Structure formats: structure tokens, C-alpha cells
Structure 1
Amino acid sequence: MSYVKPPELVRSMVDAGEAKVFMSARDTVIRAFMAGAILALAAAFAVTITVQTGEALLGAVLFPVGFCLLYLMGFDLLTGVFTLVPLALLDKRRGVTLRLMLRNWGLVFLGNLAGAITVAVLMAVVFTYGFSTDPNEIGQRIGTIGEGRTVGYADHGAPGMLTLFVRAVLCNWMVSTGVVAAMMSKSVSGKVIGMWMPIMLFFYMGFEHSIVNMYLFPSGLMLGGDFSIMDYLVWNEIPTVIGNLVGGVTFVGLTLYATHGRPGPERPRAGTGKAAADEPSARKPAADETGVPVSVDA
């Protein structure tokens, strides 16, 4: 059968987290670079569909193609390692330390950022004919997205920051669910179906994904968006990274590990254990000297 049951699923999650900790720096950065680049292309693809058709839902329905491709090729997103790597530390796998976990996160962050910015530059060239003209309609929309999701939050002050953080938490709840859902099946079709649904949900709902934003906001700055690098860092990227970490670890990694990796003791079942032995119906009737049972009431 292609379905992987939850206890086996959790073991696979911990194994994956352990493997990522001990991966070489070269492989970690290359895989993260490609993941950031492919996801950035998927974001550009989704925005293009939305602008050209006027249907945001259609863009969200097709956006997961990028996520599925990068996962099937074994590339790594920061949102995914936020969820998987801490489980190897929690499970006390030999050699896994806090320092190595932070090293993995740092390398994946840098790789994702480099990949996303590379695509941002390439797509900016496409949207402006090599920076010789004003951005086309798609480029203008990307600039608008950057403004609304930086300055737009700042205009609301503390409630805006809270909203940004909550959207980031909800985002990686869904994205990490997609990462885990891919492990629920051993077939390519099963993996794709499992990933597609939560990724589509996060994108359409406008939740904040740190790696998608690594493309949208640098791209927006190059395409004339009215916000600054500091706006991007303070009013989007930094709170988004923290929210993604909280969402992935809390609502996906720890919950699955707690209930399927380290489940609590079962309650005694009827007819077994001390509790059942104490019930009157479970006690054997007394017997006289001849061995004939005697009624308890007698």
C-alpha cells in the first residue's frame, strides 16, 4: 500500500530532520538555492495568471506546481526545515545539537534568499525589457503587493504587526502540513495530491511565506514599489520568519511527534488490568469444600 500510517510518518519526519542536520554545507546551500528559485518562479507564475485572467483563485490553484517540483527533487525550504530538524533534536538523535540545527537553518535561509533574489533579477529583466522600459502590468502588480504587505501593515502599527505574525504562523501551519503530507504516500501522485491542497490554501488566503516574500519584495523594489529595504525587513521578512518558525514547530512538528511519536499510555480496557479485576462482574464466585461454586450473596 502507498499510504504511510502516522507512527511510521513521524519516524520518517525525524529521520529527515536528522539527515538535514548532517548534510554538507555545499549540498545544503545548493538545494536551498534551487528551492528558493523554483518557488520564486512559481510565485511569478501565479501572479501572471492572476493578472492576465483576473482570477486569483486560478493563480492559487496552479501555484503549488513549484512546491511539488522542488520537493520531489529533494530541495529544501526554510519553512520545511523549521518543522523537521527540531524533531531530531527532540528525539535525542546522536550528534544532533542546537548548534547544528541553527547552522542548518542559517545555510538554508541564505540559499533560499540567493535563489529567490536571482529569479527576482531575471524576472525584472523580463518585465522591463532589460530595464529599458517601465514595468509591464505584471511587474506593476508585484510592486503593489510589496507596498501593501509592508507599508500596509505599518499603517496599522501594533495591530498590523500582530496580523502579519499571525498570517505567518498560519502560513507555515499549512506549508509544513504539505511537507508532511508528501511523506504520507510512497507514490508520486499521492505525494502531489497531499502537497497540493494545503499549499493552494495558504497562497489563496494571502498568508505570509518567508521564501515567497524573498522574491516578491526584492522584485517589487526593483520594479518601482514605494517602500524601502528597511520596510521589507521590519514590516515583513523578520516577523514572517519568526511566525513561520512558530507555526511549523508548534502546529505540525510537535503535535504529530507528541501524539504519534511519543503517545501517552492507554487507559485500561474492559476485562483487563486492575480496574477490570475490581469490578464485581469480573470476580470469580466462591466455592465450598467440594469445589462447587457458591453464590456470592449466600
Structure 2
Amino acid sequence: MDYVAPSDFIKKMIDAGEAKIFMSTRDTLIRAFMAGAILALSAAFAITITVQTGQPLLGAVLFPVGFCLLYLMGFDLLTGVFTLVPLALIDKRPGVTLMGVLRNWGLVFIGNFAGALTVALMMAVIVTFGFSQAPDAVGEKIGHIGEGRTLGYAAHGAAGMLTLFIRGVLCNWMVSTGVVAALMSNSVSGKVIGMWMPIMLFFYMGFEHSIVNMFLFPSGILLGGNFSFLDYMIWNEIPTVVGNLVGGLTFVGLTLYATHGRTAPSREKVVPLQRDIDASAVAAE
């Protein structure tokens, strides 16, 4: 059968996390760069659809195409390694250390940011004809997204920071569910269907994804958005990264590992003796 049971795909999750820890620096950076770039293109695609059709739902429905492609090609997002890589440490795989986990996270962050920034520069050129004119409608939309999602949070102070963090948690709860869903099937169609649904949900709900934001906010600064790089880091990227870590590891990685990787002993089945059944029948009479 094409479906992979949880007790089997949890082993794939741990194996994947272990492999990423021992991957070479070169391969880790290349795969992270491509993942950030493809996801950024997918975000630009979804925004273009939303602007041209006026239907945000349609943009959200089609956004997962980039996510599916990058995972089918074996590229890595920070949100995914937040969930998979720590499982190899928790499972006490030989040679896996906390420094190895942190090294992977750091390299993937750098690669994702470089890839997303590259696409941000390219899109800024496209929507301004090489910075020779004001941004077009798509560029205007991208340029102003960052204002509400930095200064908008800052205006609410601690409540805004809490909201931002929770949106980051919910985002990677869904994104990491999509990562795991790809392991639930051995066919391309099964993987795509599994990934599509939670990714569509996070994008339409406006949850905060650290790699998507690596594209949106630098793009916004390039296209005249009324916020600074410091606003972006303090009032979006850093809290979003922390929220993504908590959401993916807590609600996806650890829960699946705890109940399928290290299943608790089953409760003892108590079968009543025949004399107890007879005694109960007599009492009822």
C-alpha cells in the first residue's frame, strides 16, 4: 500500500534528521539556498495572483506549489529542520550532538536567507523595470506588506509581540505537518496532496513563516516600505524564528516521537473470570 504508517514514518523522520546533521557544509548551504529561493518565488507568485484576481484564497490555494517542489527536490527549509534534526539528538543517534544540531540550523538559516534575498532583488528589478520607475501593482503590494507586520505589531507592544510569536508557532505547526505528510506516502501524488493542505492553511490564515518573511520584508524595504531593517528583525524575523521552532518541534516532532517513536506500554487487559460473571448474573436476579 502507498500509505506509510506513523510507526514507520517516524523512523524516516529521525533518519532524515540524522542525515542532515552529518551533511557537508557545501551541500547544506546549496540545498538551503535553493529552498529559500523557490519558496520566495512561490510567495511572489501567490501575491501576484491575489493582486490580479482580487482573491486571496486563490493565491493561498496555489502557493503550496513551491513548497511541494522544493521538498520533492530534497531542499531544506529552516522550519523543516527545526522539527526533524532534534529528533536524532533525542533518539541518541551515535555522533549526534547539540552543536551538530545548532550547526545545521545556522547553515540552513544562512542559506535560506541568501536564497530569499536573491529572489527579493530579482523581483524588485522586475516590478520597477530595473528601478527606473515606481513599483507596479504587485510591487506596491509587496512593499507595504511589511509595514503592518512590523510596525503593526510594534504598535501593540507586548501584546503585539505575543501575537507575532503565536502566529509563528501556528505557522510551523502546519508547515511541519506538511513536511511529515510528505513521508506518509511513497508516491509523488500522495506526497503532494499531503503537503498541500497544511501549507495552504498557514498561508491563507496569515501565520508568520520565517523564510517567506526573508523574502517579503527585504523586498518591502527595496520597494519603499515605511519600516527599517531593524524593525523587521525585532518585530518580525527573530520572534517568528523562535515561534517556528516552538511550533514545529513541540506540536509535531516531539508529539509524534513521544507517541509513535517511544510508545508507552499498553494498559493491561483485565478479563473477568467466569465465576465473577456468574456472581454478577445471580446478583442481578
- TM-score range with shorter-chain normalisation? over 0.9
5+ residue gaps, structure 1: 284-298
Find out whether 1:104 has 2:89 as its counterpart.
Answer: no
Task: In structure 2, give the amino acid aligned to 1:22.
Answer: F
Q: Report 1:26-41 matches (<5 A).
A: 26-41=26-41
How far apart in 1 are the matches of 2:147 and 2:73?
33
Q: Report 1:122-161 matches (<5 A).
A: 122-161=122-161
SS of match in other structure, 2:169: helix
Give 2:282's aligned residue: none
Give 1:185's aligned residue: 185
Give 2:173's aligned residue: 173
Q: TM-score, normalised by structure 2?
A: 0.96
Give 2:7's aligned residue: 7
Give 1:221's aligned residue: 221
How far apart in 2 are the matches of 1:85 and 1:100?
9
How far apart in 2 are the matches of 1:280 and 1:73?
64
5+ residue gaps, structure 2: 279-285
CA RMSD, Structure 1 to Structure 2 (Å): 1.2
Q: TM-score, normalised by structure 1?
A: 0.92
How far apart in 1 are the matches of 2:49 and 2:117?
21
Give the C-alpha shift of residue 32 in structure 1: 0.1
Q: Deviations over 1:171-221 (max 9, x none)?
A: 000000000001000000000000000000000000000000000000000
Q: Deviations over 1:249-297 (max 9, x none)?
A: 00000000000000111111133xxxx67x85499xxxxxxxxxxxxxx
Find out whether 1:251 has 2:269 as its counterpart.
Answer: no
Task: In structure 1, give the amino acid aligned to 2:158.
Answer: A
Give the C-alpha shift of residue 143 in structure 1: 1.2
How far apart in 2 are the matches of 1:185 and 1:280?
50
How far apart in 1 are the matches of 2:267 and 2:121?
59
How far apart in 2 are the matches of 1:217 and 1:27?
27
| Divergent runs of 4+, >6 A | none
- The 3 A distance-change label for structure 1 pair 268 and 280 is farther
Give 2:91's aligned residue: 91
How far apart in 2 are the matches of 1:120 and 1:131?
13
How far apart in 1 are the matches of 2:117 and 2:229?
13
Task: In structure 1, give the amino acid aligned to 2:212.
Answer: V
How far apart in 2 are the matches of 1:81 and 1:193?
21
Q: Report 1:108-123 matches (<5 A).
A: 108-123=108-123
SS of match in other structure, 1:186: coil
How far apart in 1 are the matches of 2:22 and 2:2?
28
Give 1:212's aligned residue: 212
Task: In structure 1, give the amino acid aligned to 2:78.
Answer: L
Give 2:236's aligned residue: 236
Give the C-alpha shift of residue 44 in structure 1: 0.2
Q: Which entry has the higher C-alpha Rg, 1 or 2? A: 1
Q: Deviations over 1:135-189 (max 9, x none)?
A: 1110110111010100010011110000000000000000000000010000000
Give the C-alpha shift of residue 116 in structure 1: 0.1
SS of match in other structure, 1:168: helix
How far apart in 1 are the matches of 2:189 and 2:123?
30
Give 1:294's aligned residue: none
Give 1:295's aligned residue: none
Give 2:78's aligned residue: 78
How far apart in 2 are the matches of 1:34 and 1:249?
23
How far apart in 2 are the matches of 1:130 and 1:281?
87
How far apart in 2 are the matches of 1:282 and 1:6?
38
SS of match in other structure, 1:192: helix
How far apart in 2 are the matches of 1:72 and 1:153?
35
SS of match in other structure, 2:184: coil
How far apart in 1 are the matches of 2:67 and 2:89?
26
Task: In structure 1, give the amino acid aligned to 2:211.
Answer: I
Give 1:19's aligned residue: 19
Q: Which has the higher helix share?
A: 2
How far apart in 2 are the matches of 1:267 and 1:86?
29
How far apart in 2 are the matches of 1:190 and 1:282?
49
